[in-house]
Structure 1
Amino acid sequence: MRTESTAGDAPRLYQAVLAHLQRGLWNDLRNARTLGWMVTGLVLSQCPSLPAWLPHIHSSATLAQSTERRCRRWLENPAIDPTAIYGPLVTRALRDGGEHPLVLALDTSVLFEQFCLIRVAVLFRGRAVPLVSRVIRHSSAQVSTAQLLPVLAEVKGMLDFLGRPEVRLLADRGFCDTELMAWLRVCGWHYRIRIKSSLILAAPDGQRVCKVGEVRLAPRETRCLHNITLTGQHFGPVHVALGRPSDGPELWQVVSDEPTSLQTFAEYGQRFQIEEGFLDDKSGLFDLEHSKLRDAASLERLVLVLSVATLLLVSEG
């Protein structure tokens, strides 16, 4: 899938993309062909702006405006369901990826200060491959557990279909919520979540120990607390790893459903791959914020185009 020259590479890249897309479920193959050309235009232009795709899209239309209108109608079409399109593609890729336990990362990113992109990605070969992405009108990266659970339930449905119960979810401290941890426990998923300094730690009998931030650590000291509970609701038992990596004041504070050790920090550190993925989407590769779309549903379909491109590039790479 190298892109040496625009004229010669566009048809070859399109055929490679279409071969993957045709494995999905389509009620109209014309929609698959349009998506194939949009992914081709995105990869070759490295820009999510429709006009930038036009030189790379081969069409019988004589006017560039007609091709742009065709892509815009696709992005605005309510009958185009990103889940129905992307789900079969990514589950097939997971099925071909072996039987090793899956490591997932959960994170959010704000678009245009108006929308929030919620994403669960599978970490693979040092990259974060989108699994489920949802765009909502929400001006903050902080979202409620009620907004997260439908996304996670969709992920669980995919993994149950594949028979992949071994899952470890990684998330930043913005997702430190006992309701979310309880949901993960019911699913049988493991987790590593960074926690806030204000969180209350208590012994299994409910006796308050201290707040996380009150634990004093020397530089490069690590402390692991096992079989404790969190918050005034005494959620647990859980396990906590605390570390101070340098002379600075910053602490690493991670909660886990499994006994913690120094390795817990390395496991949690894999989460940063999803931040690199957002960087690729927004500025490093595809420049998502150059898009002029300002509608949540259309943006979610555009994110679908980016997700398909990322999945294919990682699979081929």
Structure 2
Amino acid sequence: MTRALRGWGEHTLILALDTSVLFEKFCLIRVSVLFRGRAVPLVSRVLEHSSAQVSTAQLLPVLAEAKGMLDFLGLHEVRLLADRGFCDTALMAWLRHCGWHYRIRIKSSLILAAPDGQRLCKVNEVRLSPRETRCFHNVTLTGRHFGPIHVALGRPSDGPEQWQVVSDEATSIETFAEYGERFQIEEGFLDEKSGLFRLEDSRLRDAASLERLILVVAVATLLLVSEGIEVVQRGDRRVVDPHWQRGLSYLKIGLRAVQYALSRGRAVFTRLTLYGGSDPEPLSGRKRPPPAPQRTLEVGWKLVFRPPS
């Protein structure tokens, strides 16, 4: 990863922190670089711990290792994204000390207060209309009055759920889009477990062995994503992804490119690079065709006919 990120440049590096339970016995702590729709693992740890909830004391060594790697590269413009299970003022204080920015989803039970300590409200006391957003700037959080921080509350639809995000930078409606990038790490866990790598088929049942296997998977992910980038950069994407616009992730483009090259005796992995900046060929949002309409004929019982597709 340190080699791949050397060409990142001055762009903000987006990290996602998350955990995943393996075999109902182990917890995988993962810090990933979010890159063009995919999460490329940076640091991983496996604990013998049956819950996805871990303490800040268990998280900080993993984050400290990631910080050491990025400091070595001179990458200091970093933004960390995390779900509400990681909403802890000790973690936020550590991020502030590092100079990292953050967007973390917060719990509804937390208390917001003015800088002078006057209580404003509990998060769940703020009632929003559908598609309404409300921002609180320069407030403090919890009874310990941690701050100043900034909070964005939003209700995206007619449903009861609200989004609640805390940030070290002034919030706006864009804060939700920035936080929403976190879901890329879910795609990475899906690739590892039941998707591409099928980690759940492993018979390994001790933390050290699983951590080594996950390291191999992380290296494979980096190599394939890097190969997919190179294919797109060369203008050869449609050799392995025939859509007019990019229809596959860089990971899957890389996998197809490797299979194509090896079947013809060509070289692979000639470069290892993750480029900073916007995606020159973002994934197209192809829509699935609507389901075929049903026709029902009543003849004493119910028969359902579907027209041929």
Quote the residue 1:179 is aligned against. Answer: 90
Partner of 1:132: 43
Instruction: Output aligned runs, 1:263-278, within 5 Å.
Output: 263-278=174-189
Partner secondary structure for residue 270 of structure 1: helix
Which residue of the partner structure matches residue 52 of structure 2? 141
- Where 1:100 maps in the other structure, the secondary structure is coil
Distance 2:187 2:9 in 1: 24
Match of 2:108 among 182, 197, 200: 197
Which residue number corresponds to residue 30 of structure 2? Answer: 119
Partner of 2:78: 167
Which consecutive residues of structure 1, in runs of 5 or more, have no partner in the other structure? 1-89
SS at match of 2:169: coil
Provide structure 2 residue ranges, at least 5 long, that are not aligned to the other structure. 229-309
Structure 1 residue 316, shift from structure 2 partner: 0.6
Deviations 1:52-89 (A, max 9, x none): xxxxxxxxxxxxxxxxxxxxxxxxxxxxxxxxxxxxxx
Paired residue type of 2:56: T
Q: Which residue of the partner structure matches residue 12 of structure 1?
A: none
Cα distance, 1:96 vs structure 2: 2.6
Counterparts of 2:70 and 2:204, CA distance in 1 = 32
1:210 is displaced (CA, Å) by 1.1
Q: CA deviation at 1:203?
A: 0.7
Indicate yes or no: 2:9 matched with 1:98: yes
CA distance in 2, matches of 1:199, 1:150: 26
For 1:247, give the aligned amino acid.
D
| C-alpha distance in 1 between matches for 2:139 and 2:11 | 30
Higher helix share: 1
Residues 212-258 of structure 1: CA distance to partner in whole angstroms, max 9, x if unpaired? 01101001000010000000000000000000001110000000000
Q: Cα RMSD over matched residues?
A: 0.6
- Tell me the number of residue pairs that the alignment of Structure 1 and Structure 2 aligns: 228
2:148 to 233, 237, 253: 237
Query: Could you tell me how far apart the structure 2 residues matched to 1:208 and 1:291 are?
Result: 51
Query: Which of residues 162, 186, 198 is equivalent to 1:251?
Result: 162
Alpha-carbon distance in 1 for matches of 2:101, 2:25? 32
How much does 1:100 deviate? 1.2
Amino acid at match of 1:174: G
- Is 1:311 aligned with 2:222? yes
- Which amino acid in the other structure matches residue 52 of structure 2? A
CA distance in structure 2 between the aligned counterparts of 1:92 and 1:126, rounded to whole angstroms:
21
Q: Which residue of 1 aligns with 2:246?
A: none
Candidates 140, 150, 155, aligned match of 2:61: 150
Q: TM-score when scaled to structure 2?
A: 0.73
Matches of 1:215 and 1:315, distance apart in 2: 45
- How far does residue 101 in structure 1 lie from its aligned partner after superposition? 1.2
Q: Residues 96-126 of structure 1: CA distance to partner in whole angstroms, max 9, x if unpaired?
A: 3333110000000000000000000001121
State the identity %.
Answer: 86
Q: 4+ residue stretches of structure 1 with deviation over 6 A?
A: none
Match of 2:136 in 1: 225
What is the distance in 2 between the residues matched to 1:268 and 1:240? 12
Task: Give the whole-Å Cα distance in 2 for the aligned partners of 1:99 and 1:237.
Answer: 27
Task: Provide the C-alpha distance between the structure 2 equivalents of 1:234 and 1:142, rounded to a whole number of angstroms.
Answer: 24
Which of residues 18, 28, 37 in structure 2 aligns to 1:107?
18
Q: Is 1:292 the counterpart of 2:203 in the alignment?
A: yes
How many Å apart are 1:294 and its aligned residue?
0.2
CA distance in 1, matches of 2:204, 2:43: 20
Q: How does 1:11-26 map to 2 (within 5 A)?
A: none
TM normalised by structure 1 equals 0.71
> Aligned partners of 1:237 and 1:99: how far apart in 2?
27
Q: 1:167-202 deviations in whole A, cap 9, x for unaligned? A: 000000000000000000000000000000001111
Counterparts of 1:97 and 1:191, CA distance in 2: 20
Which whole-Å CA distance do the structure 2 matches of 1:229 and 1:152 have between them?
24
